[in-house]
Structure 1
Amino acid sequence: MQTSTLLVVVLVLTFSAYLLAKKRSRDIATAEGGLSKLHSRPAYYGSFAAILAAIPAVLLMLIWQAVEPELVRTLVMAQIPKAVIDAQENPQLLFGQIIHIAHGILPAKTPELQAAANHYLELESIGKTLKFVAVLSLSLVGLALGWRAVRPKLRARHYVEKTLQFFLMFCSTLAILTTLGIVLSVLFEAIRFFQIIPVTDFLFGTEWSPQIALRADQQGASGAFGAIPLFAGTLMISFIAMCIAAPIGLMSAIYLSEYASPNVRNIVKPVLEVLAGIPTVVYGFFAALTAAPFIRDVAESIGISGVSSESALAAGAVMGVMIIPFVSSLSDDVITAVPQSLRDGSLGLGATRSETIVNVVIPAALPGIVGGLLLAVSRAIGETMIVVMAAGLSANLTANPLDSVTTVTVQIVTLLVGDQEFDSPKTLAAFALGLTLFVVTLALNFVALRIVKKYREQYD
């Protein structure tokens, strides 16, 4: 039986345990004189039985899935003669060949390999049968125990809440460990890169040319890993995007929350949020085919020559349009959440609506607005497709927004495309860029939290 089918069977038994235990608790309550005689509500008794029927069986299934492949591999390889293993060009791939032979993908070259394939099929069949019997039996035992445990003094609510608390704690811990694992994996690879390339050359170098040279006299023979052009391009495009998204998004949020009628708000806000659902590749096409040529034609019409067909201005402008919904939607929700009593108090003291918005509503909503802007900055820094299609891949150190530039994320994607060996500075440079981007984002979060804390104290 497939794992998915077995999981469905366990879910059916879990639901059955819930219904049976709940019904039993109601029957006991009726016999005892009412639900007040029970320690917990019937739903908690049903949940208690469902937990006993589901959790042990699912845990056993997960453990079985993790242990079975290695156990089968050990048993199969133990019966293959050593001479057959030594005769293979790559013994590490022998077990994969046996699996392919067992499934009829490859022909068996020797009788020993055919026997190993037959043994593998036999073990696989036995494993599926044993797994089905063990998991199903454990689920049935849990169902029976949960049903029999139902009695008036059973603290079902306590056990269910403790189980949910443990599950929530497990999810929180898993999220923390996942984040820690990501950071450490990037950190270790970045340390390997900095053992080859000095940190000062990476952080303060002005030449970025990580490609591997074909001749010893080329610059790329030793690699040029100065990341200043990437940082400058990232900051330039993000700054242009925020110059468009921040004012437009914030002003639209103020209008929708403070000035617009309910009918206008119900129409305009969904239309504005449609921008968030457009794929970034569509924005990239628009930037490359419409925005960039338009900017180049306008620049040439006013006498500015030599404008690149791929520019930071085109990428930043289109990116700014893309992240307007993030600023607008979050700011609108935060401004709407400001208590009406603050507005009424300001208006009652004689302030106009605009003065109330500037002096009362915006300061009160500042923490949420800063959070929305921070989210928009993170989205701008992490965007890749628009930059690739509208700003190019050239790592130019320039302050001219009409020139072609690139960003950190684009270079990370470029360095990790295709078959790569994770022992060369070219590939390891992607992890160094990722670590730098992580540190910069962490610093932005720290600064934003300090700003929020400073202004929030006025309203606590």
Structure 2
Amino acid sequence: MQETNSGGAVTVAPYGPLSVSDRLAKKALRNFKERVIELLLLGAACVSVLTTVGIIWVLVSESVNFFGTVSIWSFLTDTMWTPLFAEPRYGILPLLAGTLTTSVVALLVAIPLGTTIAIYLSEFARPTVREVVKPFLELLGGIPTIVYGYFALMVVIPLLQLIMPELSGFNMLGAGIVMGIAIIPYVSSLAEDAMRAVPMSMREGSYAMGATRLQTAFRVVFPAALSGILSAYILGISRAVGETMIVAVAAGMQPNFTVNPLEPAQTISAYIVQVALGDLPHGSIGYQSIFAAGLSLMLMTLALNLVGHVVRRRFREAY
């Protein structure tokens, strides 16, 4: 508020309106704070970008040294992977076959079960049931993979041997099944979130047309949430391809060029673990092979993600 003294001068009383300069100062301070927050957010975003660039640079630079000794053609076409032999051979096909086989087995377990769980929790489960099941799924996703590996070795594979007595003690089937169990929480959680994001008006419209809850779930909700469900599948695929400890413990660590899940094999990530434990001297050509294998794994994951992105985008446009 303003007050006039005996001399006729106008003064501003305490707690009165701010002057123009005070308002400008507060606005400048607010803009400064917002600018600082924007810079912090930009820095956080740059961390992920720089980390990715650093990983790519390390893999490519070390792989260049490896391919200076081993030809790319031999690396991509040779069916033998024997870096520890007197005459080493570096064909990535055995590791690639083991990676794809265990991943396919895992996806055959995780996608049907994960999708079924997501449909049940989203469309049929009561709130009390959902509150009980969801924490257990999250707990399942938090179990260390080394525990899954020994679970596969000590429980799942012996059970499979009761059905198939000729089954080896190390095989891709048991490892793939347990990998699928480990991936279920990722698939079911993301798929359920995508289905619950479908507007209730679509469900109500389906019910009004006489559809049952099951018909609504499969013919209305599932197609409407398909882009998000595909994202869950892509995450599951990437998770399966990059899995390490389960296959390292239960698959056998033998680089056999086979796609038979009943046989032992070695995956790309399991080989990297083996070399990282000190089986080959640092700086040798065998040691550099882990970077070439890691680059192959990264390119394979990138290709799967790009394909999934294109498919997800088309389904989003369709619905």
Q: What is the TM-score when the length of structure 2 is the normalising length?
A: 0.90
Spell out the pairing of 1:57-136 with structure 2 (5 A cutoff).
none
- In the other structure, the counterpart of 2:14 is 31
What is the CA-CA distance between 1:316 and the residue it aligns to? 0.5
Is it true that 1:325 corresponds to 2:185 in the alignment?
Answer: yes
Work out which of the residue numbers 65, 69, 76 in structure 2 matches 1:203.
76
Alignment match of 1:233 (pick from 98, 106, 113): 98
State the partner residue of 1:73: none
Judging changes above 3 Å, is the alpha-carbon distance between structure 1 residues 192 and 458 closer, same or farther for their aligned structure 2 residues? same
Alignment length, in residue pairs? Answer: 306
Moved more, 228-237 or 340-349: 340-349
The one-letter code of the counterpart of 1:31 is: P
Compared CA separation, residues 179 and 164, structure 1 to 2 (3 A): same
Give me the CA root mean square deviation.
1.9
Deviation of 1:173 (Å) = 2.1
TM-score (norm 1): 0.64
Aligned partner of 1:285 in structure 2 is 150
Shift of 1:184: 1.0
Structure whose CA Rg is larger: 1
Q: Which runs of 4+ in 1 moved over 3 A?
A: 419-423
Amino acid at match of 2:98: G
Query: Which residue of the other structure, out of 149, 155, 168, is the alignment partner of 2:41?
Result: 168
Per-residue CA shift, 1:149-197, capped at 9, x if unaligned?
x944212111110111122122222321221111011011111111110
Describe the SS at the equivalent of 2:164: helix
Aligned to 1:457, the other structure's residue is in SS state: helix
Aligned to 1:342: 202
Tell me what 2:7 maps to. none
Percent identical residues: 42
Q: Distance in 1 between matches of 2:189 and 2:115?
A: 9
Contact 2:256–2:264 (8 Å) recurs in 1? yes
Cα 1:30–1:338 shift into 2, 3 Å: farther
Shift of the alpha carbon at 1:400?
Answer: 2.0
Letter in 2 for 1:451: V
Instruction: Report matched runs for 1:167-186 at 5 Å.
Output: 167-186=40-59
Deviates more, 1:447-456 or 1:165-174: 165-174
In structure 1, the gaps of 5 or more residues are: 1-28, 40-149, 212-219
Structure 1 448/152 Cα, relative in aligned 2: closer, same or farther at 3 Å? same
2:191 alignment partner AA: S
**Among candidates 263, 279, 284, match of residue 424 of structure 1:** 284
Letter in 2 for 1:252: I
Structure 2 Cα separation of the partners of residues 398 and 340 of structure 1 = 48
- Displacement after TM superposition at 1:222 (Å): 3.6
In the alignment, what sits opposite 2:311?
451
Shift in CA distance, 295/419, structure 1 to aligned 2, threshold 3 Å:
closer
Q: 1:32 Cα shift?
A: 4.4
Q: Is 1:247 the equivalent of 2:118?
A: no
Structure 1 residue 374 corresponds to structure 2 residue 245:
no
One-letter amino acid of the structure 1 residue matched with residue 154 of structure 2: L
Per the alignment, in what secondary structure is the counterpart of residue 323 of structure 1? Answer: helix
